[in-house]
């Protein structure tokens, strides 16, 4: 029965913007380190190690809404790309990153603010899948 449920999950179509998509995470196939971190850069921004084993970079920044990539080991040994809402003061000082959000939830939030930017990010994740650098997973 568990195997049947797993097969159903693999064949299930989950649409960006849906409640189900909000439960999706993007799992990397390899640990992030100084040698391979640059392959994950997005839109000209570079991932920065903000503490041991935690990397961050801007995904979307505006006057009203800021979303950062946060890459770390969140689920067991799995490296996950999640998102975090950021507080930016004085134009460029990041004073707070909120709790990590599942990848899909972050994309859904961004889609409410800027559908074009959410689609660009979705394409970015598509290139990571095509390059076999990661995969989408549904969390329960």
pLDDT at 118: 96
pLDDT at 89: 77
C-alpha to C-alpha distance for 86 and 109, rounded to whole angstroms: 13
Q: Where along the chain do its domains lie?
A: 22-138
Tens digits of pLDDT across the chain (140 residues): 334 444 444 555 688 999 999 999 999 999 998 889 999 999 988 899 988 899 999 999 988 899 999 999 977 789 999 999 988 777 667 778 889 999 999 999 999 999 999 999 999 999 999 999 999 999 87
pLDDT at 135: 96
């Amino acid at each position: 029965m568990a195997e049947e449920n797993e097969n159903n999950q693999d064949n299930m179509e989950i649409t960006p913007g849906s409640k189900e998509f909000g439960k999706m995470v993007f799992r990397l196939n390899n640990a992030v380190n100084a040698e391979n971190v640059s392959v994950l850069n997005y839109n000209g921004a570079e991932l920065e190690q903000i503490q041991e084993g935690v990397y961050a970079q801007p995904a979307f920044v505006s006057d009203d809404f800021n979303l950062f990539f946060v890459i770390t080991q969140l689920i067991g040994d799995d490296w996950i790309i999640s998102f975090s809402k950021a507080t930016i003061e004085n134009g460029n000082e990041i004073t707070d990153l909120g709790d990590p959000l599942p990848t899909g939830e972050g994309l859904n939030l961004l889609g409410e603010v800027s559908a074009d930017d959410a689609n660009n990010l979705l394409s970015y994740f598509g290139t990571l899948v095509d390059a076999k650098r990661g995969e989408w997973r549904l969390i329960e």
